[in-house]
Amino acid sequence: MLPSSDVKKDIFERYNRKPKGWHVLVRRDQRGHYDTIFLHGKDVWFIKEEPVKPYELVGFGIADKVDDEDALSSIKPYQFGFRPIPKKHIAETIKAFRDRRKIESVISKIMTIKPVPFDEITSKLAVQGPILYPNNPINLLSNQDEIDLKLRSELEKLLYRKYPYLLTTYL
């Protein structure tokens, strides 16, 4: 188990080496902590975090291998990635999102663009995603509940020690 910032740095480096085939899922657990799952092939990373400032999250993560590849079938349609928007499509993309017209067709076009390493993006506009928000947990490992409990326990210890004000109600 490592700090989430270290796990995310490792994921980012791996993504930049091989940007195809990534999937990202985000949800909140029963206590309100953020769970993020990164998938690449059979590799899976679980991260549990809590915001301590508007743009700062703290937490822990762990890497493993997927047990049940059939569980991945529901999230396979689109790959996560950084996609540069070609110059000729920038105006159309901005207009579609501003006017809320033809958004589906613009998103479909964007999703056909292959994900690229972050440092290869030279266009003025890029899109990150998709990030899936499943309603129900997706069980990828036989010991996933154990991992979740371990991550939650460590996160709550950290919050209690360094950020106790996040665990109490304001008076």
Find the DSSP H helices in the chain. 4-17, 87-99, 103-111, 144-162
Q: Which of 1, 102, 101, 113 is nearest to 47 (CA)?
A: 1
- Rounded to the nearest 5°, which phi and psi values hold at 68? -115, 95
Each residue's pLDDT tens digit, 5-38 = 999 999 999 999 999 999 999 999 888 899 999 9
**Contact indicator for 41, 21 with CB cutoff of 8 Å:** yes
What does pLDDT average to over the chain?
Answer: 86
Each residue's pLDDT tens digit, 52-97 = 988 899 999 999 888 766 666 666 667 899 999 888 888 888 888 7
Distance CA 92, CA 151 (A): 43
> 40 by DSSP, 3-state: which?
strand
Distance CA 72, CA 41 (A): 10
Classify burial at 112, counting beta carbons within 10 Å of its beta carbon; exposed 0-12, middle 13-18, buried 19 or more. exposed
- Rounded to the nearest 5°, which phi and psi values hold at 71? -65, -20
Each residue's pLDDT tens digit, 90-110 = 888 888 877 777 778 888 888
Going from the C-alpha of 147 to that of each of 12, 139, 140, the distances in angstroms are 22, 11, 11
Q: What was the pLDDT predicted at 7?
A: 96
Token digits for 158? 């950290």
